[in-house]
Chain A
């Protein structure tokens, strides 16, 4: 079955440093979505990527979808303490939505 792997599991950065999380699927995806979950909260939808090679930006966040539609990345430039949380990717294949295990980001002021 479809598997979605996400690395790293944890990332601790100094405020102002950059952060990247990577997502890899064992199968080609219809689309990929990214979510952020604060401690004790629920996942909040960030963005959806659909096209091969697509790149989308949201302020300091840059999202990429690989050419083969099997991998994706989220890059945060100049992290802030408000960026803390767990970032999940979720890949869709034949209406089967699979989340990665998430990357937990902590930011030291």
Chain B
């Protein structure tokens, strides 16, 4: 167990809806990164939060947004869901940026958009 927990583990949404995914980082870690992993692909970096500020963003549209709280837990919000958003969403926590040093991944949230 890594100490990084994500909720929910599975989710089914309809195209056009909005979704919020949650991540509790490992104790002592102040950096959370979010990734999208499509089936059979490597994780794609969405964005990273460090001490409640966004620090780095991958090639994802603005309808992907996030938040980090004072306790360093984080949320990923996706608006206007599309079928291609179906994927495993992973969060990883680490201590200090920008090196993504020793990132520990949660078990992921599998999102299905129908």
Using C-beta atoms within 8 Å of the partner chain, give the interface range for chain A: 20 to 34
Q: Is the pair B103, A95 in contact by a Cβ cutoff of 8 Å?
A: no
Q: Is the pair B100, A43 in contact by a Cβ cutoff of 8 Å?
A: no
Q: Is the pair A99, B44 in contact by a Cβ cutoff of 8 Å?
A: yes
Q: Which residue of A lies closest to B45 (CB)?
A: A97
Which of B45, B48, B55, B105 is in CB contact (< 8 Å) with A98? B45
Q: Is the pair A43, B55 in contact by a Cβ cutoff of 8 Å?
A: no
Question: Chain A binding site: helix, strand, loop or mixed by DSSP?
Answer: strand
Q: Is the pair B98, A100 in contact by a Cβ cutoff of 8 Å?
A: no
Residues of chain B whose beta carbon lies under 8 Å from any beta carbon of chain A:
2, 33, 35, 41-45, 48, 55-56, 58-59, 90, 92, 97-108
Residues of chain A whose beta carbon lies under 8 Å from any beta carbon of chain B:
1, 4, 6, 30-31, 33, 35, 41-45, 48, 88, 90, 92, 95-102
